[in-house]
Amino acid sequence: MNDTFGRRIAGMLHRRPRLRLSLLLSAPLLWLVLAYLGSLAALFLSAFWTTDPFTSDVVKSWSPDNFRTLLTTSVYRDVALRSLAVAVAVTVIDAVIAFPIAFYTARVASPRYRHLLVVAILTPLWASYLVKAYAWRIMLSEGGPLDWLLKPLGLHGPGYGLPAVIMVLAYLWLPYMILPIHAGLEQLPANLLDASADLGARTWRTFRSVVLPMVFPSIAAGSVFTFSLSLGDYIAVQIVGGKTQLIGNLVYSNITLDLPLAAALGTVPVAIIVLYLLAVRRSGALAAI
Amino acid sequence: MAIRLRGLSKSFGQVEAVAGVDLEIGDGEFFSMLGPSGSGKTTVLRMIAGFEAPTAGTVELAGQDVTRLAPFERDVNTVFQDYALFPHMSVEQNVAYGLKIRRVPKAERAERAREALASVQLADFGKRRPAQLSGGQRQRVALARALVNRPKVLLLDEPLGALDLKLREQMQVELKALQREVGITFVFVTHDQVEALTMSDRIAVFNRGRIEQVGTPAEVYERPATPFVAGFVGTSNLLTDEGGTYSIRPEKIRLLDEEAPAGTGDDLRTVTGTVAEVVYRGDSTRFLVALDEGGRLTALQQNHETSSEEVAAYRGTRIRLQWHRRHNVIVTTPESPEAPEAPETESTCV
């Protein structure tokens, strides 16, 4: 009895592909619209509210004041530009470090060893973000391990500050860059490299004309992670950034004081990331994700 | 001498892919390396191109030892089995790639790429991406990309393997014509005996990393040097009698009714048997005959007058087979220590 009922339902669903699809997607779509787009819309709306300077209460009246403040106050402009520069620097550093590692894991290492290496690359992602950031705080501390290591060379570590933030963020997001490049290089057919050499190209030329253009979508995919994660970060900068201010920690520090301003600040990285994604999309790289 | 290989060997770990190959290929020759998969023919090709370094032995191109040179330092070009076209470049860019690297001026480069594409009937396809072409068209682009560099030697690694039969036969003719026209040495790797027989000036038959025989198509087909060659090139019928083991080609055998008057004479060999299987192939029919004296022979008959219904009626009937002794090819004599080894090849038949 039960069985035939189940079969009837299955048969009905089989004959109605639209119903099948809507049943499949309704729950995730509901979540996406309510929780994801909804919260983004709420953020954007609240950026137009203001805060009463005396009571610190949110006044729900429409005004573009917050955005005007952002654009006219040099501090905010500087912080936005600095955050952008950090995100770009982290992305470039990660791409430069990730490429040789990914090349080794994807094309040089023996298949058995390859799996171990991929696991090794993933392992740091299992450790808590805070633990890793604090580990770097110790590394970078005055007279800490990094200073001690560099001492024989007559150098000292960067201490806390902007360079430390870039270093730590580059360290934190590196796996997100290695994995897509590894996947891209793994899919690169070996005979394309043979063909390039056969047609007279030396190693560097093959890299430039064949390897790089073909794994560019993977690099772009990795950069979406490193770029957006760096732009939104507010913890590493508090731990190793010294007095450095980025958009993330400005938002964080304003949330309790001036929520509408924090919301307006929060739309800045969103806007930058949207612009970045559009640029990446234009390059044709998102087709690979 | 375009290519000279001396004692060429290659091992991958414990596996010996190529075990001491000596070979000389002349200028302007269409030379085929024929053998089953895993016989080492492709590895030899890759060592000539420079993609693999030999474990032992030397490779000479035009009298110069190139064994230690990288692929980009050798004056050879390769047409790869799956074409290896650069997917991110247009057809034109693919063809011009080698010229660009050699710093050929832009105008000349474009002109030569255009000519090369025209010579493979793809003049209007320059702006397309490889993904927008059919298999046969990609194959031609790969050919144009290699030939545009005017190499001394063109290496072709089973270039027609992925094409359907009609296209393959058409490309065989075109390739041969192209080779005559440009006069470049072609080294052609294939596992297809018909392809090798149709196109080549000479053929080297590979087996287990060694060359079993080198010769013209007629030599290899009519006078196979070893049982392996007899079996791999064409369908071989191996028979053993007091004279040793010999091979007789199916098309040399006449089929006669048991009662029909048969020719007599010392130069004729006649055996009797029962038709075990009839394979109708449109233009011809293959009869598998179980011999009274033991063993089996395959005989091939052109379907001059017979139809499929008629040949099917032969199954199970008594039959007489007759052929000229001069078509017997001795593959081993009774004194020969090596037992005849008939490879299992039910592949394409000649």
Q: What percent of chain B has pLDDT over 90?
A: 49
The confidence score (pLDDT) of residue A286 equals 59
The confidence score (pLDDT) of residue B347 equals 39
3-state secondary structure of A22: helix
Separation of CA B58 from chain center: 24
What 8-state DSSP symbol labels residue B216? Answer: -
In angstroms, the separation between the Cα of residue A275 and the nearest Cα of chain B is 25
d(CA A121, CA A105) in angstroms, rounded, equals 10
Q: Which residues of A touch B49 (CB under 8 A)?
A: 194, 198
Partner residue opposite A200 with nearest CB, options B85, B87, B101: B101
Q: How confident is the model at residue B349 (pLDDT cuts 50, 70, 90)?
A: very low
Which is more confidently placed, A180 or B239? A180
Q: What ipTM score was computed for the predicted complex, to two decimals? A: 0.80
pTM as predicted = 0.77
Closest C-alpha among B7, B1, B3 to residue B60:
B3
Q: What CATH number has the domain spanning A69-288?
A: 1.10.3720.10
Query: Other C-beta atoms within 10 Å of A11: how many?
Result: 10
Q: Are strands B153-157 and B185-190 parallel, antiparallel or unpaired?
A: parallel
Lowest-pLDDT range of A46-55, B66-75, B191-200: A46-55
Burial A176-191 (b: 16+ CB within 10 A, else e): bbbbbbbbbbeebeeb
Question: Rounded to a whole number, what is the largest CA-CA distance in chain A?
Answer: 84
d(CA B151, CA B62) in angstroms, rounded, equals 12
Q: What percent of chain B has pLDDT over 70?
A: 93
d(CA B42, CA B20) in angstroms, rounded, equals 15
Closest C-alpha among A235, A198, A118, A19 to residue B84:
A198
Domain map (residue ranges) of chain B: 3-222, 235-332
d(CA B248, CA B238) in angstroms, rounded, equals 7
In angstroms, the separation between the Cα of residue A173 and the nearest Cα of chain B is 29
> pLDDT of A201-219, one tens digit each?
999 999 999 999 999 889 9
3-state secondary structure of A287: helix
**Could you write out the DSSP letters of every residue in B36-102?**
-TTSSHHHHHHHHHTSS--SEEEEEETTEE-TT--GGGSSEEEE-TT----TTS-HHHHHHHHHHHT
Q: Which residues of B touch A218 (CB under 8 A)?
A: none
3-state secondary structure of A280: helix
Could you tell me if B49 lies within 8 Å of chain A, comparing CB atoms?
Answer: yes
In angstroms, the separation between the Cα of residue A285 and the nearest Cα of chain B is 12
Domain map (residue ranges) of chain A: 2-46, 69-288
What's the sign of the alpha-carbon dihedral B100, B105, B110, B116?
Answer: negative
Q: Tokens for B297, please give them.
A: 């022979």
3-state secondary structure of B313: coil
Q: Which residues of B touch A192 (CB under 8 A)?
A: 84, 86
> pLDDT of B264-284, one tens digit each?
777 888 888 999 999 888 888
Q: What CATH number has the domain spanning B235-332?
A: 2.40.50.100
3-state secondary structure of B298: strand
The confidence score (pLDDT) of residue A287 equals 58
d(CA B25, CA B275) in angstroms, rounded, equals 45
Q: Are B327 and B249 in contact (CB under 8 A)?
A: yes
Amino acid at A229: L
Answer yes or no: do A201 and B72 touch at CB < 8 A: yes
Q: Are A244 and A165 in contact (CB under 8 A)?
A: yes
Size of interface A-B (CB pairs under 8 A): 58
d(CA B95, CA B145) in angstroms, rounded, equals 4
When scoring A198, A206, A209 by the number of chain B Cβ atoms within 10 A, the one with the most, hence best to mutate, is: A198
Which is more confidently placed, B168 or A56? B168
Q: Tokens for B278, please give them.
A: 């009839």
d(CA B322, CA B297) in angstroms, rounded, equals 11
Amino acid at B87: P
Q: What CATH number has the domain spanning B3-222?
A: 3.40.50.300
Q: Tokens for A172, please give them.
A: 């934190």
The confidence score (pLDDT) of residue B342 equals 45
Which residues neighbour B338 within 8 Å (Cβ) at sequence distance 6 or greater?
B332
The confidence score (pLDDT) of residue B94 equals 95
Q: Which residues of B touch A199 (CB under 8 A)?
A: 72, 77, 97-98, 101, 145, 149
Three-class DSSP labels, A196-238: HHHCCCCHHHHHHHHHHHHHHHHHHHHHHHHHHHHHHCCCHHH
Q: Are strands B30-34 and B202-207 parallel, antiparallel or unpaired?
A: parallel
CA-atom Rg of chain A in angstroms = 25
Tell me the average pLDDT of chain B: 87
Q: How confident is the model at residue B338 (pLDDT cuts 50, 70, 90)?
A: very low
The confidence score (pLDDT) of residue B295 equals 83
Q: How confident is the model at residue B157 (pLDDT cuts 50, 70, 90)?
A: very high
pLDDT < 70: residue spans in chain A: 1-2, 284-289
> pLDDT of B97-154, one tens digit each?
999 999 999 999 999 999 999 988 888 999 999 999 998 899 999 999 999 998 989 9
Partner residue opposite A194 with nearest CB, options B51, B76, B98: B51
